[in-house]
A and B are shown apart, each in its own frame.
Chain A
């Protein structure tokens, strides 16, 4: 089983739209690895809006998302290669 490299993005309390902008930058930098299934991006945020905008934007780029609620916000896992 291949080792999956996790790229963590921790964004709490930042001004809008830090969450989406930084996530898109990470996806642009690591798009190939995500598509190959060797990497995933995990965003931890308190921005409720990002739980809507990130899945919508990421979906258009051909990636998948999984949103879960955690103690102090939301965890958005972005992955490809499925």
Chain B
């Protein structure tokens, strides 16, 4: 039997992953589409849902902090803002559009039987493992381009209590969203069987992020496990090389989670540790949740026939995504669902890079891939 705090962490992550996978499949809640469709179709529908998720997350996280439900603030894994966040976000934006989904989106699509997403995930594992080769240089660049030392969130930088910034932002956002609801722009006709309205999904996903923060000590994050899994596969073929790479010896997580009296430690190396306990169940949960959803609707089937251009695009996009997720560091779900609600400066910079990256990705996709 597993000891605390690992049992709680593993069970929480698995339950959150299963629910997230199910909900994302039923609602087609795809973060990539939120940004890509703005540029490709001038369609802001999913972007509104993303804003809803961020605003609700903002309210929940701040309420959690004020009531003491959230004990670690800001959450572990965040650092001072650096130019590397912008560049990582930019490459991530290109990659997620070419791959047809981000690190979470590709998982739920894989669970529903998409071979294109399987290719994207293989690309991500490879890109994440490859990052270890350039880590010494990139890490030095990231450190040398830190914009503000010793500061993690915007309120910290402005020397304001978090509520002073978050309350007006959340209030303004809520009024705007209320108007959008009343104008009928938060919902649209859907014909897929078992469809869940994206605004409902946004609410559920915001609550899942909050649950993760309360129970595990940090919101949803998954990309270190891609490095870990990639390193594990690489170690089967080149164990010496993996052992010699400094990145795989890094311990990026070292904190005492809620409901625990001792710290947990982990990193991107292939060993089983705290990162495995937090992220592997989430990863498996998202795939299985989507599989269960699709199977229950009688819609699960392996779709492996796709044009060669799309084969190349999914793999290349996945590689870029995996690499960028380590360079940024982390992914859009971590930054948008977790970092933005507390106004983490790294997350704001990630978004600054993500937007032009998505624009370029959308242009490449429309011109060279989907023909």
Contact = CB atoms under 8 A, between A and B. Distances in A.
A51 to B, nearest CB: 4
A5 interface: no
B296 interface: no
B299 interface: yes
- Max count, chain B CB within 10 A of own CB: residue among A13, A55, A57: A13
A72 B45 contact: no
A17 B37 contact: yes
Given A46-B301, A57-B41, A17 B99 contact: no
Nearest to A13: B303
Contact of B189 (A13, A55, A69): A55
Nearest to A48: B192
Contacts, number: 82
Contacts of A67: 191
Contacts of B190: 51-52
Contacts of B32: 16
B48 to A, nearest CB: 13
A17 B33 contact: yes
Given A18-B370, A21-B370, A55-B191, A12 B33 contact: no
A20 B41 contact: yes
Interface of B: 25, 28, 30, 32-33, 36-37, 40-41, 43, 45, 99-101, 114-116, 188-193, 195, 299, 301, 303-307, 310, 313-314, 366, 369-370
Interface of A: 12-18, 20-22, 24, 46, 48-49, 51-53, 55-57, 67, 69, 72-74
* Among all A-B residue pairs, the 7 with the closest Cβ atoms: A13-B303, A15-B100, A67-B191, A49-B28, A48-B192, A51-B191, A15-B116
